[in-house]
Amino acid sequence: MGAALALLGRVPIVFWLLAAVLAWGGWNRLQALHLRGEVERAAASANAQAAAAAAERQAREFEHAAAVRDKEIADAYAKQRRADAAAAAGARAELDRLRDALAAAPSPSAGASGPAAAGGADGASAARIVVGQCAATAVAVAEAADDAEAKLSGLQAYVTGLLKSLPECRAP
């Protein structure tokens, strides 16, 4: 060991300083490369998180818009149902008024001009029954048609809103 120390003692101090500076520079270069890799990984992670946050924000906006459209469709459907119910109530009231008018119509009396009128053979009572049944059937058909129309309108609005909400299927 003494020979090694004697040999090291003959090396000028400038070389020792040069070796120390090169070792220090190499160490700093190694740390810089390591930190650059960490910075790149952190930047990639931040970019991925920003993209995920933007996608989540877009999904929330999409869900909100779909919920607003669904509420508007439901409100319009409920409004149409109320209007249809009011129209049906009006038709029922008109039917009741027609029935009352038919019931209040004078029936043929015994002192009528002919024997057919005296026996009620003029067909007025049968006409009352037929008109009453026809009016009831017409009201039932109208209610069924209104109900079917309201359901169809609601379904069409729902499908249109659904198609508008899909990004690849934009309705014109």
pLDDT tens digit sequence for 24-60? 999 999 999 999 999 999 999 999 999 999 999 999 9
The burial class, CB within 10 Å (0-12 / 13-18 / 19+), for 73 is buried
Global pTM exceeds 0.75 = no
Q: Would the pLDDT of 169 be above 70?
A: no
| Tokens describing residue 156 | 């069409």
For CA atoms 110, 116, 119, 123, give the dihedral sign.
negative
Residue scoring higher pLDDT (20 or 12): 20
Give the pLDDT of residue 163: 81
- The C-alpha atoms of residue 109 and residue 100 are separated, in whole angstroms, by 20
In terms of Cα–Cα distance, which of 168, 158, 156 is closest to 70?
A: 158
Long-range contacts of 93-98 (CB under 8 A, 24+ apart): 95/135, 95/136, 95/139, 98/131, 98/132, 98/135
Domain ranges of the chain: 2-105+121-165
> Do the beta carbons of residue 91 and residue 145 sit within 8 Å?
no
